[in-house]
Structure 1
Amino acid sequence: MPNKIKLIIFDFDGTLGDTRRNIVTTMQMTIAEHQLPYRNEDECASVIGLPLAGCFKTLFPNIQEELITRCSETYRRIFNENLKKIQPQAFPGVVDTLAALHQKGIVLTIASSRSRNSLTELTHNMGIADYISLLLGADDVKEAKPKPEPVLKTLAAMHFDASETLVVGDMAVDIMMGANAGAKTCGVTWGNGTEEELKEARPEFIIDRIEDLLKIVNYRI
C-alpha cells in the first residue's frame, strides 16, 4: 500500500530562502578579487546548489585545486560581509506553510550544499528554525548532491524510510539526490532551476506555490 509522507527534506537556497542576490553578488566579487574571467548573473546562478568547489570547477573547468581552495575561503568571507547589507528572506508563504506542516506532524529537515553554521544562522533569521528538526550541511557529508548521502544520512538520523519521505528542491540535483535515495521528489518553480530542467529530472510533483505541499502530504504516494 502507498505510504503517506511523514518526512520532508528541503533544499534551502532557492527553495526556502531567496538567496540568489546574495550568492550571485558574492560569486562575482570573489571572481573579481581573484582576477578570474567575468561570469554573468545567469552563469553564477546556474551553479547554485552545488558545493563551493563544484561551483568554481563548473564555472572554470581548468581551475587549479589550490585556487579553488582560496576562492572558497574568499567566497565565505565575502558572503558573511554581504549578509550585513543584503539580508536574505524566506520566499512568500514559506513560514506559514512550514508552520502548518509542522502542526500536521510532518517532520521537516534541510539538506543543503551550504555549511551547517550558515544554515543555522539563516534559518534563525528567517523565522523558520523552530520548525526544522535537522540541518544537514555540506560539511556533514562526504558525497554531496546529486549523490544520495544527504538523504540517506537524514533517514538514518530521523528513523524514517525513503518510502515515506519527500525531497523538495528547485534544482535538478535535488531531484536526482532524492530519487537516488529511493524517496519521492517535488520540484519547485520559484527558485534557480528552470521548469524544463526539473521536468528532465522527472520528479513526482512540480509545484508553483509552496502551499501546494499541504495537498501533497495528504496523498498516499
Structure 2
Amino acid sequence: MKCVIFDIDGTLIDEAHRLEVQTDSVAKWFGDSLEEKQSVIDEFFAVNDRAQVLKNQGQPQFKNNIPWYMQEIGHKLGVKVSEEEAKIMAEKWSSAYDDSHENPQLFPDVVDVLHALREKGVKMLVASGNTEKTRKIILSQTGIEDYFEAIYTAIDIGFQKQDVRFWQVVLREINYAPGEIVVVGNQINDDVVHPQSLGLTTVLVNRPGVLRKNLGSKDVAPDYTINDLQRLVEIVG
C-alpha cells in the first residue's frame, strides 16, 4: 500500500472528552447518567445518518440542522423538546463542541504509527467531516500536522463522507490506484461503505471506550477491524 487516508475524531484524536462535554451540555433535558449520555450519542449519530439520507433526497435543510437533531433525539428518548428549547440546546451542543477542541488529545499509539508509516515512504492524508481550518488547528495543536500531505473535508469538498462523491473527488485528487490506498476510520457509514465500493482497502478502528460513537451499519464489513493503530503498520506492509 502506498497511501493511507485517516479519519481524525475517534481514530487519531480521543473524542471521549468531546462526547462527555457535549452530553453534559444537554443533560438538563436528557439526563446525566452514563446510560443516558450514551443514548444521546447513539441517537445523535442515528439522526445524522437520517439527515444525510434526506439530503441525498433533495432535503439538505435537515443536514447540520442541530435544533432539528435535538427534537429528533428527544422524540426517540421520549422527551418533549419545544422549538425554543431545541434552539437553546443546539447552541449549547455546538459551543461545547468548539470548546472541547481547544485541547485535543491524541491516542497514545498515534505518533509511533505515523512515524513508522512515514519511514516506509507511505503518503498520508486526512479525510474529515469538518472544515479544513478546524482540522488544521487540531492537527497543529497535537503536533502531527506535518505527517499529512493534504486534508480533505466534507465542507470544503461539498459532500459528506457518507456520499460516494466525497470519495470520488478525493480519488481524482490523488495519484494512486484504488488498490494502493487504505482508508482508516471509526465509522462504517463514513469510512467503509463507499471507500470499499470504490475498491479501496478499509480498516475500521474499534477502540474501547466509555462514551463512544456507534460503529454504524452491520450490513457492510470492513476489510480489517483493529482495536488500536499498531496493527496498521503490518496491514500496510
Query: Which TM-score tier does this pair reach, normalised by the shorter chain?
Result: 0.7 to 0.9
Distance 1:135 1:61 in 2: 36
Residue aligned with 2:162, SS: coil
Cα distance change on mapping 1:92 and 1:153 into 2, 3 Å? same
Mapping of residues 56-135 of structure 1, within 5 Å: 56=69, 59=73, 75-84=93-102, 87-135=103-151
Distance 1:70 1:138 in 2: 26
Aligned to 1:188, which of 183, 205, 209? 205
Q: Deviations over 1:70-115 (max 9, x none)?
A: 866654433333444xx22111211110111122111111111222
1:206 counterpart residue number: 225
Residue aligned with 1:109, SS: strand
Distance 2:176 2:114 in 1: 19
1:178 counterpart residue number: 195
Q: CA deviation at 1:203?
A: 0.7
Q: Does 1:20 align with 2:37?
A: no
Distance 1:176 1:54 in 2: 24
Distance 2:84 2:125 in 1: 33
1:160 counterpart residue number: 176
The more displaced of 147-156 and 93-102 is: 147-156
Distance 2:179 2:109 in 1: 27
Identity of aligned residues (%): 24
Distance 1:180 1:201 in 2: 10
Distance 2:150 2:8 in 1: 12
Distance 1:101 1:207 in 2: 17
Amino acid at match of 2:134: S
Residue aligned with 2:112, SS: helix
TM-score (norm 1): 0.76
Q: CA deviation at 1:43?
A: 2.6
1:141–1:149 contact (8 Å) kept in structure 2: no
RMSD: 3.4
Give the unaligned 5+ runs of structure 1.
Answer: none
Amino acid at match of 1:11: D
1:172–1:193 contact (8 Å) kept in structure 2: no
Q: CA deviation at 1:149?
A: 2.7
Distance 1:144 1:198 in 2: 17
Structure label with greater radius of gyration? 2
Give the unaligned 5+ runs of structure 2.
Answer: 53-62
Runs of 4+ in 1 over 6 A off after TM superposition: 61-71
Cα distance change on mapping 1:41 and 1:72 into 2, 3 Å? same
Q: CA deviation at 1:27?
A: 4.7
Greater helix proportion: 2
Residue aligned with 1:89, SS: coil
Q: Does 1:148 align with 2:164?
A: yes
Distance 2:109 2:162 in 1: 27
Distance 2:20 2:157 in 1: 24
Distance 2:187 2:87 in 1: 25
